[in-house]
Amino acid sequence: MDPNCTSSIGGTATQFSLPFSHQHETDWHFRGFTVKLRCHETKTNQLVELNVLVVVTGSSGLIGSAAVRHWDAPGNHVIGIDNDMRSTFFGPTGSTEWNRKQLEAETKNFRTESLDIRNRDVIFDLFKNEQPDLIIHCAAQPSHDRAAAIPFLDFEVNANGTLNLLEATRQFAPDAVFCHMSTNKVYGDAPNELKLQELETRWDYANQQEYHGITEACRIDQTMHSLFGASKAAADILAQEYGRYFGLKTGIFRGGCLTGVSHSGVELHGFLSYLVHVAVHGKPYTVFGYKGKQVRDQIECSDVVKAFEAFAQNPRAGEVYNIGGGRENAASVLECITMIREIGGYELEYNLSSEARKGDHICYISNLSKLRRHYPVWDITVSLREIVTRMIQAEKDKLD
């Protein structure tokens, strides 16, 4: 390969400009895959499109599977890491095995490795052998309520697992782009310190300057995080540090409510998905605290993945972004229940418990200004109504 070649990681392919003789298409053996090199003549050289190798952790989960589909579709090679640990965290209903099977049937150049990100040796071996161009890190223990019962497992997966992946990248793929899926729980309950006003169906920010929500400047210490928020804060800071200290191209994405039809929603994680599930299946639901007026901003998983792509095309080192549905896709639990009734005609049976979940946000809206400023190509494309409509349809399909 010509040392002067240039590359960029996008949704389509890495492009190398090579000054070699005329050739239109050839097979090339690359990192254990046979890659088709397609060459287009230019004035001085040939432009070769070379597909990239993407490693997606948590590939059977909500965000991971969206990333797999996104990068597989244009012909890239994608390796998923997922050991179905979600079923260990939440029991059989939380299992993501169904999604793995579906993905493997649908995709062209994708395979899953049932590896545990806590196992440093196997992660190092994989990175040494494959040297990925892009890492999308979504494997996690994702529930803040669950973490209290499994503190060691939570920390080992979220913090140590992330460190294993960052160090493997530094040692074996230092030029790769690393997108780390973080969470708004790194802010703990600090967002609850903002002055709020109680409206008929929701809490909202009382001050106009906070209308667009929480920025990345919100402090992350001296607040109550839950153990999950603490382990994710450790991972978030490690990912920043590998960017700032070692110069790796790490992007840290602090998610609001991430959602989509491939969420294996359970009571302790995946609020909207679970809410639609219980509504369609006629099961009871308990809303914890704040009279059901607590606000969440919902973003569809494909919009999250588009942000990763924008970052991968023009990466920075150790940059942090809030990502969620923003003001337009924000709604309270009560408003979501109304929307499910309006769209699907489902009347949800729910109880209002006065006991709030520890450290729960009362009103959380991700301020998307920084992400939009750094990546003007990116925006929200799926509305909350559309998200709920798709989820209802997916739940109805399960009944058939």
Ligand X SMILES: NC(=O)c1ccc[n+]([C@@H]2O[C@H](COP(=O)([O-])OP(=O)(O)OC[C@H]3O[C@@H](n4cnc5c(N)ncnc54)[C@H](O)[C@@H]3O)[C@@H](O)[C@H]2O)c1
Q: Which residues form the interface with ligand X (CB under 6 A)?
A: 58, 60-64, 81-86, 96, 116-118, 138-140, 142, 157, 161, 181, 183, 232, 255, 257-258
Q: How far is the CB of 263 from ligand X (least distance, A)?
A: 6
Judged by beta carbon, residue 77 or residue 232, the one nearer ligand X is 232
Q: Within the chain, what is the greatest distance between any pair of CA atoms? A: 73
Choose between 61 and 191: whose C-beta lies nearer to ligand X.
Answer: 61
Please give the Cα distance from 148 to 144 (Å, whole number): 7
Which residue type occupies 77?
H
Nearer to ligand X, 17 or 87 (CB): 87
Report, in Å, the least distance between residue 269 CB and ligand X: 7
**Smallest distance from ligand X to CB 174, Å:** 23
User: In angstroms, what is the minimal distance from the CB of 290 to ligand X?
Assistant: 18
Two tokens, residue 260: 């989509």
Neighbour count for residue 80 (Cβ, 10 Å): 30
Identify the three-state secondary structure at position 148. Answer: coil
Q: How far is the CB of 20 from ligand X (least distance, A)?
A: 41
DSSP 7-74: ----SS-EEEEE------EEEEEETTEEEEEEEEE-SSSEEEEE--EEEEETTTSHHHHHHHHHHHTT
Choice between 9 and 181, CB closer to ligand X: 181
Residue nearest to ligand X (CB): 61
Residue 158 CB, shortest distance to ligand X, in Å, is 7
* Angular region, 227: left φ>0, alpha ψ -120 to 50, beta rest: alpha
CB-wise, 87 or 314, nearer to ligand X? 87
Q: Which is nearer to ligand X, 51 or 143 (CB)?
A: 143
Residue with smaller CB distance to ligand X, 116 or 335: 116
3-state secondary structure of 296: strand
The minimum distance between CB 125 and ligand X, in angstroms, equals: 15
Could you please report the per-residue DSSP string of 189-234? TGGGGS-EEE-SS-EEESSGGGTT-B-TTS--SSS--HHHHHHHHH
